[in-house]
Homo-oligomer: A and B are copies of this chain.
Amino acid sequence: RTLARMGTELRCQCIATHSRFIPPKSIQDVKLTQSGPHCKNVEVIATLKDGREVCLEPTAPWVQLIIKAILARAQQNSDSPL
């Protein structure tokens, strides 16, 4: 487990980050938490479709690509006719 606790916490939630690639298809959602007084790190927590939650490394190129891919799909959805 790389995740300490859930919810709006007063400290960092990620103890470590998952280093291996996770296919976008198995990701349900991705939460980006700003750094702040509670935690000096930006934290990225993915919820997988099987319910697991994993901390991702926000500076990893594949993590940034997954986030961009989700936003790009939103654009595609809005461009396509109903």
- CB contacts (< 8 Å) of A35 on chain B: these are 73-74, 77
- CB contacts (< 8 Å) of A20 on chain B: these are none
Assess whether A34 is in contact with B42, with CB atoms less than 8 Å apart: no
B-contact bits for A36-72, CB 8 A (1 contact / 0 none): 1000111010010001000000110000100100110
- The count of residues in chain A whose C-beta lies closer than 8 Å to any C-beta of chain B is 29
Assess whether A73 is in contact with B28, with CB atoms less than 8 Å apart: no
Assess whether A74 is in contact with B36, with CB atoms less than 8 Å apart: no
Assess whether B71 is in contact with A40, with CB atoms less than 8 Å apart: no
For the complex, what is the distance from the CA of A32 to the CA of B27, rounded to whole Å?
10
The minimal Cβ–Cβ distance linking A6 to chain B, given in whole angstroms, is 11
Assess whether A34 is in contact with B41, with CB atoms less than 8 Å apart: no
